Amino acid sequence: MSEWPLYEVFVRGKRGLNHVHVGSLHAPDDKLALMHARDVYTRRNEGVSIWVVRASDITASSPDEKDPMFAPSGDKVYRHPTFYDIPAHVPHL
Amino acid sequence: MTVTEPQLAEHFGATIARGDRIEPRDWMPEAYRRTLIRQIAQHAHSEIIGMQPEGDWISRAPSLRRKAILLAKVQDEAGHGLYLYSACETLGTSRRELTDKLLSGKQKYSSIFNYPTPSYADVGTIGWLVDGAAICNQVPLCRTSFGPYGRAMIRICKEESFHQRQGYELLMTMMRGTDEQRAMVQESVDRFWWPALMMFGPPDGASPNTEQSMAWGIKRNTNDELRQKFVDMTVPQARALGVTLPDPQLRWNSERQAHDFGEPDWDEFWAVVNGAGPCNAERLAHRRKAHDDGAWVREAAVAFARLEEAL
Ligand SMILES: [Fe+2]
Ligand SMILES: [Fe+2]
């Protein structure tokens, strides 16, 4: 018999926050994955909402040392507010 | 773009040196991966087997309050095992492989769980001393170099403090009771003190892997450092409780600003590690039976999922 598939679990800690990855678990299907996620990752009100997704359905970028994926954002300093010099006497900027 | 292995190793070393975390898809030396799998698996197995000694008392807890607390505590330990299995699997092993290795005795779990719990006071003593020692071991591991392991440890440490406090409170309650109850507490502490000290592993001189593990940031303190810390933390707690720790050599050393204490019986330690402890066979047999008895549930759940998919 094949093993139960692996699910990744994401929990929204409270209203207004993003779902955050908290770990993984094995479950036979989506419904039970949610139930298991509740039992394993939210025994003390750690969340108000849970996402589960099969690990095999996630597409991920490769680790940085093998892939120039993030290089394009490295040399664009003008994307950051600190790139611009504004005189100290100009308020609220 | 191809990167050579020495370059990868250099990048790995630099990440560790900066105090940054290694994440699952990063390149890592095979020995680092192997050591982590062994360490995290052993840790996960300990949480799972660790449910048994206390679980024995769930049906015999003296009140509904104590039963609810004990159930929650034992359920937490199951959760700890699952967090750690999940962290371990990110290293490329599988849950089935880990379970098989536990059941076949190829991977170990902490020796402390091979001691029996014949007295209800043991529930309190385990919370106080065994979870207490586990906290000493685990707090530094929140900063371990492998990301998923550190994150699992953070979750675990948050929950452990409830475990230790409920145990200590249970013992305090018994110490306020009858002479017989006080004697039960002392007898339990006498049995668990030395095995609890052994939880930190063999003395530094007999722990050949420590140096490499510390260089990799997998381990943050040596066994003897952590053992000393535990003794220093526990002595005032024992005094407040009104129990004696069964070590005639235990005394404050003002020069070292630390307690001197006796040597655990390392022959006993190795005997228990190698299978000759009082409950080794029982613990594994129980775990095997639970696994076998649950087989039909796992299979039925898969069959049901396939059926739903086909509809
Ligand atoms: Fe635990
Ligand atoms: Fe615990």
Model confidence, pTM: 0.92
Q: Rounded to whole angstroms, how far apart are CA atoms B46 and B235?
A: 26
d(CA B88, CA B110): 17
Whether A1 shows a pLDDT value over 50: the answer reads: no
Q: How far is B192 from chain A (nearest CA, A)?
A: 29
A11 assigned to some structural domain: yes
Residue A63 above 70 pLDDT?
Answer: no
Which residues from chain B sit within 8 angstroms of residue A58, using beta carbons?
none
A8 Cα: distance to centroid of ligand 1 (angstroms): 22
Longest CA pairwise span in chain A (Å): 72
Residues of chain B with pLDDT under 70: 1-2
What are the start-end ranges of the H helices in chain B?
5-17, 30-49, 51-55, 64-89, 95-103, 121-125, 131-138, 147-175, 179-198, 210-215, 223-241, 266-271, 280-293, 295-310
Helix (H) / strand (E) containing A21: strand A19-26
The reply to whether A26 touches chain B by the CB within 8 Å rule is yes
Over residues A52-80, the mean pLDDT reads 77
Q: Is residue A25 part of a domain?
A: yes
Inside any domain, residue A59: yes
Please report which confidence band the pLDDT of residue A65 belongs to, taking 50, 70 and 90 as the band edges. very low
Residue in chain B lying closest to A39 (CA) = B79
Closest CA to B127 of B175, B77, B82, B78: B77
* Higher-pLDDT residue of B11, A52: A52
Q: How far is the CA of B149 from the centre of ligand 2 (A)?
A: 17
Tell me the ipTM for this assembly: 0.88
For B166-192, what is each residue's pLDDT tens digit? 999 999 999 999 999 999 999 999 999
Q: Is A89 part of a structural domain of the chain?
A: no
Rounded Cα–Cα distance for residues B294 and B299 (Å): 9
pLDDT number for residue A26: 96
Looking at residue A64, what is its pLDDT?
56
At residue A71, the pLDDT reads 64
B86 vs A1, A25, A43: nearest CB: A25
CATH code, A52: 3.10.20.520
Domain count across chain A: 1
Range of the structural domain that residue A14 is part of = 6-79
pLDDT at A70: 64
Is A74 part of the contact surface with chain B (CB cutoff 8 Å)?
A: no
Structure tokens, A60: 């991920």
Taking each helix axis from N to C terminus, what angle separates B280-293 and B95-103, rounded to the nearest 10 degrees?
140
The torsion defined by the Cα of B272, B275, B277 and B280, in degrees rounded to 10, comes to: 130
Residue with tokens 């235990």: B250
What proportion of chain A, given as a percentage, has pLDDT over 90?
A: 63
State the pLDDT at residue B309: 87
Q: Is A15 within the bounds of a domain?
A: yes
- CB spacing of A4 vs B302 below 8 angstroms: yes
Residue A75 counted as domain residue: yes
Q: Is A92 on the interface with B (CB under 8 A)?
A: no
- Copy the structure tokens of residue A24: 């993984």
Distance, CA of B10 to CA of B59 (rounded, Å)? 55
Residue A27 within any structural domain of the chain: yes
Tokens of B274: 């190698």
How far apart CA A33 and CA B282 sit, in angstroms, is: 32
Distance B153 CA to ligand 1 centre (A): 10
**Spatial separation of the C-alpha atoms in residues B156 and B84, rounded to whole Å:** 9
Token output for B90: 């990110």
d(CA B197, CA B200): 6
| CA atoms B220, B222, B223, B225: torsion sign | negative
* Residues near B95 by beta carbon (within 8 Å), at least 6 away in sequence: A3, A26, B85, B89
Residue A38 lies in a domain: yes
What is the nearest CA distance from B189 to chain A, expressed in angstroms? 30
Residue pair B91/B145 in contact (Cβ under 8 Å)? The answer is no
Q: Which residue has the tokens 């070590």?
A: B247
Closest residue in A to B27 (Cα) is: A63
